[in-house]
Chain A
Amino acid sequence: MSDNVEALYQEIILDHYKHPRGAGLLDHASGESFQVNPTCGDEVTVGVRLDDDDHLHVGYEGQGCSISQASASVMTELLEDATLDRVADAERAFHELMHSKGAGQPNEDALGDGIAFAGVSKYPARIKCALLPWVALQDARLRAGIEIDKPTTPDA
């Protein structure tokens, strides 16, 4: 396997793919979004809810390739019970990373295991896969009326 492909399929990504964290939809989501990648049929549904302390709760369900499903797992683990500031930082950092064409310096504070997706940004066809759950998150959040202070860059 070439270095690029090894970099694409980081151990962390394969691990999240095989052992997804936090899979399952929330029982009482206040916003939910279903997204598909029409070129390959990847699907993900993300639901969100805010608790009394203004912490986010995230659930998801999906099917698709390793990148889209690992991305949903990493995102859910990262943002479960997170403050809205943290959600804002993560959303922005992930979009930036995906648009970095492989040259991005991933922000580990904001992204946690999400830094493993740095290699994806070299493969235009896979960026959509990685972004799919994040797009669903953003949409679910907006449907739930959960605004965050720092708007994320619009998706390409």
Chain B
Amino acid sequence: MMSTALDVSRLRKDFPILERTVRGGRALVYLDSAATSQKPYAVLDAERAYYETSNAAVHRGAHQLAEEATDAYESARAAIAGFVGARAEDIVFTKNATESLNLAAYAFSNATAKAAQGGVVDPRLVLTPESSVVVTEMEHHANLIPWQELCAKTGAQLRWIGLTEDGRLDMDQLSVIDDTTAAVSIVHQSNILGTINPVRSIMDRAREVGALGIVDACQSIPHMRVNVEDLGADLLTWSGHKMLGPTGIGLLWGRSDVLNSLPPFLTGGSMIETVTMEGSTFAPAPQRFEAGVPMVAQAVGLEAAVRYLDGVGIEAIEQHEHELTAHALATLTQMPGVRVIGPESTVDRGSAISFVVDGLHPHDVGQVLDDRGVAVRVGHHCAWPTCRRYGVPATTRLSTYLYNDLDDIDAAAAGVRAAQEFFGVV
């Protein structure tokens, strides 16, 4: 079966890993792109070509290779910025989204500690026991634990927006954002529920109370058109490896006034302006946040990834995945003993679909699927509190990308049925 928006069989040829077999000769059905995506030749070739021709430490040295490497690195920044409608100088390279989110949270604890020593910092970043930080109950641990730690260090209160039965934010709880709130950090698209959140209205509310607004866009940017200006956020974080890029590169976008008001996170070489034995001053963003020799090859690979995505068309990818999601939801919700955790409709919903099967633990479902060559993720998906909210220890999650087709969904559904039969629960 073919979906209409993309020529999947042609696209699949660009992804060498999809040719391989698993578990004794079975074709690989990869339905775990929310964890990490596969990489097309274009990305692999770009990284290799960089190492073969231009490898050098960037922003250091006066030789030709150093110039070429610096050009490659900065042109990658510009291309990635263009992909999300940003200016190149507002894009910071990190190691992954987790680091980007920690960078944001540490800005508050570092500023608070400096203020206590009489340092001059942006007062919006200074927390007291009267301050609050707001997240949601559907955050990935990467957007929860850094804020828990920040609150533990400063005495600030962690608050969250709870969830409705059908897997959405309970917008009646928006009042937890009030004039004590210093930061509001929320996920754009949930990696466990698939929900796409109304971030704009939440960011507007953050702005009203003078809080910094942060959006975790890990699961949205790879799958839909996101323009950084439209979300109303101050900071936006995501990972390269979920959008066909290499591992080892993450992104932080910020409004330039905000970025330049944040104290540095990791310190050392390349991020300074002047250094004496007594102290140092720091370069403007983005260099301020890029201490040490950065991940140049990964940046080059990620540039190739966004060019590849542009070539296919992110709107076409979104449309294609919408069809896959509709098919998966229709299939799963009709299966006896199967319950979707998260929205059952395709409205404001991405393609990560979690479900539980009566009488079967997700680990056992995943094992049977794996035996049939179907790779899904099982567990709490680094969103343990979300599982608790819905009273399940874990879920099975399928998630798609441009290289999946309707047949892949059917293979997963057939695997779930086989697991139910094997364990005698239908």
**A contact residues vs B (CB 8 Å cutoff):** 1-2, 4-5, 8-9, 14, 18, 39-43, 63-67, 123, 125-126, 129
Contacts and interface: CB of A to CB of B under 8 A. Distances in A.
Given A2-B24, A14-B423, A65-B364, A40 B371 contact: no
Contacts of A1: 368, 371, 418, 422
Interface residues of B, number: 20
Contacts of A66: 361, 363-364, 423
A43 B393 contact: yes
Interface string B159-199: 00000000000000000000000000000000000000000
24 contacts: A1-B418, A1-B422, A4-B24, A4-B371, A5-B371, A8-B367, A9-B364, A14-B423, A39-B379, A40-B363, A40-B380, A41-B384, A41-B393, A41-B394, A63-B393, A64-B361, A64-B363, A65-B362, A65-B363, A66-B361, A66-B364, A66-B423, A126-B363, A126-B367
Nearest to A67: B363
A1 B364 CA distance: 13
A40 B379 contact: yes
Contacts of A40: 362-363, 378-380, 393-394
Given A8-B367, A42-B393, A65-B363, 9 more contacts: A1-B368, A41-B379, A41-B384, A42-B361, A64-B361, A66-B364, A66-B423, A123-B367, A129-B363
Contacts of A123: 367
Nearest to B378: A40
Contacts of B24: 2, 4
A2 B379 contact: no
Given A14-B423, A41-B384, A66-B361, A2 B371 contact: yes
A53 to B, nearest CB: 38
Contacts of B394: 40-41
B367 A41 contact: no
List 3 A-B pairs, minimum CB-CB distance, nearest first: A65-B363, A65-B361, A40-B379
B156 interface: no
Contacts of A125: 363
A9 B363 CA distance: 12
A112 B171 CA distance: 55
Contacts of B48: none
Contacts of A126: 363, 367
B387 interface: yes
B327 interface: no
A63 B378 CA distance: 15
A43 B424 CA distance: 23
B13 to A, nearest CB: 28
A124 to B, nearest CB: 12
Contacts of A39: 379
B23 interface: yes
Contacts of B364: 9, 65-67
Contacts of B361: 42, 64-66
A40 to B, nearest CB: 4
A51 to B, nearest CB: 34
A41 B380 contact: yes
Contacts of A4: 23-24, 371
